[in-house]
Structure 1
């Protein structure tokens, strides 16, 4: 069994793509394993806050590698075999591919491609403006600061990885999957060396991905077939001046070159954004949430709260001395 990775940032249509792939008899998947992230992050000195001190753990592992016959390669090989073994157990049946769709694999995408050279990698892109709008809809129309890591670092990582390994991977646009599903899925399955069955585009509605991860909105009740209806929804979300100004800066941050890798044109996206009629709806709320989000993201309130709780416990234990 071969590993298959569907790589994208969140809100890019990956759950729909996963369900269509899962309806093929030679593909097995589960909702979102997130399996590889903690193991590959043991090799990183930054990016993890933990009680055990992650930086020290990483340094201790580096020392441990000196005792292994092939050093760090032995450690990576063990992670690889451990992962493939769990894929086989989760699959339960013999199939050609186990599909692992875990959106934040964008943080370790280069490591995954190196670890599984025999694997298949589908890079799924979506119009960045539609992604931004979907992020807002995900939080009931309020400015959402939880996806900063995905919109910036995640997208940059995926573009760099695809640019470096395009000979091993396939690039797909979400919009093309909706506008021209038959040709696009035939192209994808050809890359996977699997026969194309047109019934995949209707049979996927019966696929149930159990688990707490993934997109609960993409359910049997919502999508019975592939529809172009989502393509223009984002325009109704990005109407107020604050959102439009943020999106202009975001597009320029991505830049024309990286957008070209994804299959989009900077000027066309800017022109479309500028043509949307403006509305004051959510303007005050967005500004307030943006300020709060800036504080939350840069101070990482979750760590601050953890520290305050730890201080309270420490004070109760030692405050009497």
Structure 2
């Protein structure tokens, strides 16, 4: 796993993501997916080759089933990676600073109710240190999303999946200068559990697959035995619901219900872990802990698509 997941764009021989350690054969390929934005980004930087990352072991810029690589916009004064993207939406003029991690894998982006307009994904954490540890880039990753990208569409999306071991969840914070922060585990989040299983090393679903499932989640035509059947909220239902877990302020020794996770580096204490509650009749255990499965099946019904509507995201005061 590369030590720094920030996305300073470079045209160097090391590939499109100079912030990554491509000497690490386990380095993951970060993917911002927007064909139009990709073309603009290439033009703006003078890059003529959007080829695969030379140091990525089998997961090039077109890895993960063809998600395609796309550049980012260089380092800002804080050293945060900048994500390129498309415009639209509210037109607010301030960028969004993001710190996020997952047990075990995630991507995020912005879009409409019908699908993602940009997507930054492909982070897979196979060790505890990659999830929790300091400094940023060793554990959780940080990004700067320009206003144009953050304003694309009217939804913030998080895509996530986990291995079949111990714990699972996602936690993050989204700060726009001058506005109240947005946290996982707080607010009117929705989730759709697709039931399409991905293992670590797969690079996860492609943008095409994600958008196909967003359409199916919208129409509610998913199998209720293996999925959430459609979008569910924090309200308990026969198809499960969004689960908000512990805040980021309690250390742990051994994972147990209510204290499944260690403290994550540099994420605010108010942020909560978030996952899908797949057991509507839960009487013990935790949705954040792998329950085991004698048949080895996808009990938790991931991969998961979380989203938060723009009407629930605080705007910059005017």
- Do these two structures clear the TM 0.5 threshold for a shared fold by scoring above it? no
Q: Which has the higher helix share?
A: 1
Which structure: larger Rg?
1
Q: Which has the higher strand share?
A: 2
TM-score with structure 2 setting the length: 0.27
TM-score with structure 1 setting the length: 0.27
